[in-house]
Structure 1
Amino acid sequence: MSKYFVEFAALAMAHFLALISPGPDFFLIVGTSVREGASRATGLCAGIAAANGAYILLALTGFAFIKETPLLFTALRTAGALYLVYLGVMLLKAPRRQDSSPLEPEAESSGTNRRRQFAAGFLSAILNPKNAVFYLSLFTVMVSRDTPPPIQASYGLWMVLAVFFWDLSIAQLAGSEKVRCRLDRHTHWIEKCSGGALLLLGAVLLVRGG
Structure 2
Amino acid sequence: MAAYLDEFILIALAHFFAVASPGPDFAVVLKQSVQHGRSNALWTSAGIALGILVHVAYCLMGVAILLSQSESLFNALKYVAGAYLLYIGIQALRAKPASGDAAQGKVQELPESAFKALRRGFLVNVLNPKATLFFLSLFTLIISPQTPSLVQGAYGLYMAIATWVWFSSLSLILSKTSVRQFFHRAGHWFDRGIGVILVALAIRVVAK
Structure 2 residue matching 1:22: 3-state secondary structure: coil
Structure 1 residue matching 2:22: 3-state secondary structure: coil
Q: Aligned Cα RMSD in Å?
A: 3.0
Structure 2 residue matching 1:10: 3-state secondary structure: helix
What is the rounded CA distance, in whole Å, between the counterparts of 1:115 and 1:19 in structure 2?
Answer: 23
Note the alpha carbon deviations across 1:129-186, whole angstroms, 9 max, x for none. 11111111111111111111111111000000111110111111112xxx34x579x7
Structure 1 residue matching 2:161: 3-state secondary structure: helix
What is the rounded CA distance, in whole Å, between the counterparts of 2:54 and 2:167 in structure 1?
Answer: 17
Partner letter of residue 43 of structure 1? W
What is the rounded CA distance, in whole Å, between the counterparts of 1:151 and 1:52 in structure 2?
Answer: 16
- State the match for 2:197 in structure 1: none
- State the match for 2:43 in structure 1: 43
- State the match for 1:133 in structure 2: 133
Partner letter of residue 54 of structure 2? A
What is the rounded CA distance, in whole Å, between the counterparts of 1:23 and 1:40 in structure 2?
Answer: 19
- State the match for 2:173 in structure 1: 173
Partner letter of residue 129 of structure 2? P
Question: Which segments of structure 1 move beyond 2 Å, counting only runs of 4 or more?
Answer: 95-98
- State the match for 1:85 in structure 2: none
Structure 2 residue matching 1:61: 3-state secondary structure: helix
Structure 1 residue matching 2:62: 3-state secondary structure: coil
Contact kept in structure 2, 1:42 and 1:114, CA below 8 Å = no
What is the rounded CA distance, in whole Å, between the counterparts of 2:140 and 2:27 in structure 1?
Answer: 29
What is the rounded CA distance, in whole Å, between the counterparts of 1:114 and 1:4 in structure 2?
Answer: 38
Count of residue correspondences: 146
What is the rounded CA distance, in whole Å, between the counterparts of 1:168 and 1:22 in structure 2?
Answer: 15
Task: Say if 2:6 is the partner of 1:6.
Answer: yes
For normalisation by structure 1, the TM-score amounts to 0.61
Partner letter of residue 28 of structure 2? L
1:2 deviates by 4.2
Contact kept in structure 2, 1:30 and 1:174, CA below 8 Å = yes
- State the match for 2:191 in structure 1: none
- State the match for 2:152 in structure 1: 152
- State the match for 1:19 in structure 2: 19
- State the match for 1:31 in structure 2: 31
Contact kept in structure 2, 1:55 and 1:135, CA below 8 Å = yes
**What are the equivalent positions in structure 2 for 1:59-138 lying under 5 Å apart?**
59-62=59-62, 106=111, 113-138=113-138
Q: Cα gap change, 1:97/1:128 in structure 2, threshold over 3 Å: closer, same or farther?
A: closer
